[in-house]
């Protein structure tokens, strides 16, 4: 099982923890982030990770920046990427179950109410539901994206 991980300078320590945790859980990690705190642009890292993911063979991706907001927004501009920014384990579980998110984002400068690794575990361990109402909603979201692309 492969995972792609990328981060900007605002989340180097958190990204390192995430990469180590994923490896401990048995994932092969393709790390594409920066390992320094020298300023870089989060859209570049979102693009790099999402492009790699879209080549195929990955279970999911993890993105990190200072807040998680910018990098998740950049990722969601890419066709086929559904990046969530959950604030706790419950939201992480539900984004996979209900929204079929293929990326999860975190903020390296955020004080989470629980350990971000627990949030990541909740996402990993969740099973996507095949309930028709959730699949219908995902289809509508994709249709909006397609309409805007053509419009």
Catalytically annotated residue among 9, 21, 50, 65 = 65
Catalytically annotated residue among 83, 98, 100, 118 = 98
100 is catalytic: no
Task: Report the side by side order of strands in the sheet with 28-31.
Answer: 28-31, 2-7, 60-65, 103-107, 83-84
21 is catalytic: no
Sign of CA dihedral 25, 108, 69, 9: negative
Residues 6 or more apart whose CB falls under 8 angstroms from that of 17 comprise: 116, 117
Please give the positions annotated as active site. 65, 98
């Amino acid at each position: 099982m492969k995972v792609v991980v990328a981060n900007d300078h605002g989340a180097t320590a958190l990204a390192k923890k995430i990469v180590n945790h994923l490896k401990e859980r048995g994932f092969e990690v393709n790390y594409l982030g920066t390992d320094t705190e020298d300023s870089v642009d989060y859209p570049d890292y979102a693009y790099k990770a999402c492009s790699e993911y879209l080549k195929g063979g990955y279970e999911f991706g993890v993105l990190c920046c200072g807040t998680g907001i910018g990098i998740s927004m950049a990722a969601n501009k890419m066709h086929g990427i559904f990046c969530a920014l959950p604030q706790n384990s419950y939201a992480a579980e539900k984004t996979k179950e209900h929204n079929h998110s293929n990326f999860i984002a975190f903020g390296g400068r955020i004080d989470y109410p629980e350990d971000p690794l627990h949030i990541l575990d909740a996402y990993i361990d969740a099973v996507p539901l095949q309930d028709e109402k959730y699949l219908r909603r995902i289809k509508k979201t994709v249709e909006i994206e397609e309409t805007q692309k053509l419009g």
